[in-house]
Amino acid sequence: MKKRRILAFTSIRSDYDLLSPLFNLIQKDSSLELKIIVSGAHLSKTYGYSISQIEKDGFQVLCSIESLIDSDSKKSRIKSGSILLQNAIDIVDFYKPEIILFSGDREDAIVAALIGSYLFIPTIHFYGGDHVIDGNVDNPIRHACSKLASLHFVSHELHKKRLIKLGESPNRIFVIGSIALDKFVSIKVHSINVIKKHFEIANGFNDFCLLIFHPIINESDVAYLHFKNIMEVLDENHINTFVSFPNTDPGNRKIIDILNSYRGNKNFFIYRNLDRDWFLSVFRRSSFIIGNSSAGIMEAASIPIPTINVGSRQIGRFADHNVIFCSTGKKDIASALKKIRTPEFQSTSSSVKNSYGDGTASKKALKLIQNLNFNNFLMKKEDPLNV
């Protein structure tokens, strides 16, 4: 039997984790063939060289495209995107996939959406319809990806409504939930002692939090100051913390400098990149998450633990009652920290049910992929005035 060829794009670890449970299911289906175009931060040793995880997971890399311009300038992301676009067009045309998958709002997503549109290959955009009012370029890029995509597999009913407002036809939109949550439900979580042993942490860390903070383009000059404030508040409160390196966006260099200045401080365990399984164990054993990662908004409620979202990144996104938004000032961060430790907030947080899904999203996505006739969705003829 001829297998249906599916091609996925991924450029960064965090986005790979948003789709990898689905990749697993596709891989197990004998009627489907999955190949991946890997680019960007996946191929950078500075950011953990996570292509090795993709290979370890057993997925076939169709091509690795070294596209990341590892710079702090505003031009770097669009230049990286253009390198990927130039290199991927002929590869996609040669492989001739029947469906292209991509997620989110980064350069690889818009590139995949453009290539699918111009080569007349049906595309599925995951996590579209989300909206953040931080002014970051990711937001309009996400909506642009949606406008180019044939189908939308979204994580929240509100995202479907927003896509319809953007002029997308309802029959193209499927609310499956967040695939990132699937592993939350299924994975075996390591105990704190096993985590400490694995990371060779000798003392403390019996109770810890997780800090993930990324710069956004319009705050790239000051993002490190916001990060510094978070680090100082955590240090002053003697909170053991697993701290992630930031992503590759402009403004990250100075954040890395701050991070490096804390090396040797026993309150902090700093990491560049963790295997998803270890990351999930650390996340699930954390007493709270702080920073500005979407994991705090969309995933923490599945544990459930409190989230302190610092600054404007993620604002506008639907959040459950376990999330507190605060400004980037030390006083506000300290106040949020105090609040999440109150019995009232702990009680609210522990009873939260995650609005982004129940851990079955990848199964739903697979069933849709198995059963939809994608060619019916290829031509986008709808007039948004009539949607």
Partner 1 sequence: MDSTIKLELLGFLEKLGVSKSAISDDMNLFAEGVIDSMQAIDYLVMIEEKFNVNVTMQIVIEKKLGCPSYMAKYIETLIQ
User: Given the complex with partner 1, which of 125 and 226 has the nearer CB atom?
Assistant: 125
User: Given the complex with partner 1, which of 175 and 209 has the nearer CB atom?
Assistant: 175
Among 95, 174, 199, 271, binds partner 1 (CB under 8 A): 174
Instruction: Report CA dihedral (368, 369, 374, 380) to the nearest 10 degrees.
Output: 70
Question: Of 307, 304, 77, whose CA–CA distance to 212 is shortest?
Answer: 307
User: Please, what is the minimum distance in Å from the beta carbon of residue 365 to partner 1?
Assistant: 9
Tell me how far apart the alpha carbons of residues 311 and 220 are, in angstroms, rounded to a whole number. 13
Contact status: 367 vs partner 1 (CB under 8 A): yes
Contact status: 27 vs partner 1 (CB under 8 A): no
The interface mask with partner 1, positions 313-352, x = CB under 8 A, is ----------------------------------------
Contact status: 186 vs partner 1 (CB under 8 A): no
User: Given the complex with partner 1, which of 174 and 199 has the nearer CB atom?
Assistant: 174
Q: Using alpha carbons only, what angle is made at residue 63 by residues 93 and 363, rounded to the nearest 5 degrees?
A: 85
The one segment of 60-68, 93-101, 277-285, 368-376 that binds partner 1 by CB under 8 A: 368-376
Q: How many other C-beta atoms are found inside a 10 Å radius of the C-beta of residue 379?
A: 10
User: Please, what is the minimum distance in Å from the beta carbon of residue 347 to partner 1?
Assistant: 27
- Which ranges of 32-135 does DSSP label H, i.e. alpha helix? 51-56, 75-95, 107-118
Among 51, 141, 175, 336, binds partner 1 (CB under 8 A): 175
The H or E element spanning position 100 is: strand 99-103
Question: What does the block give as tokens for 287?
Answer: 């007493």
User: Where in 62-101 is the site for partner 1 (CB under 8 A)?
Assistant: none
Burial 214-239 (b: 16+ CB within 10 A, else e): bbbbbbbeebbebbbbbbebbeeeeb
Tell me how far apart the alpha carbons of residues 74 and 52 are, in angstroms, rounded to a whole number. 28
Question: What does the block give as tokens for 121?
Answer: 């290959």
The one segment of 93-101, 171-179, 315-323, 343-351 that binds partner 1 by CB under 8 A: 171-179
Kindly state the number of chain residues that form the binding site for partner 1, as judged by CB under 8 A.
11
Among 94, 371, 381, 385, binds partner 1 (CB under 8 A): 371
User: Please, what is the minimum distance in Å from the beta carbon of residue 75 to partner 1?
Assistant: 41
Among 278, 360, 380, 387, binds partner 1 (CB under 8 A): 360
Residue 316 gets the label, from left (phi > 0), alpha (psi -120 to 50) or beta, of: left
Contact status: 256 vs partner 1 (CB under 8 A): no
The one segment of 34-42, 211-219, 264-272, 357-365 that binds partner 1 by CB under 8 A: 357-365
Contact status: 364 vs partner 1 (CB under 8 A): yes
- Which ranges of 202-305 does DSSP label H, i.e. alpha helix? 223-236, 252-261, 276-285, 294-298
* Interacting residues with partner 1 (CB under 8 A): 174-176, 360, 363-364, 367-368, 370-372
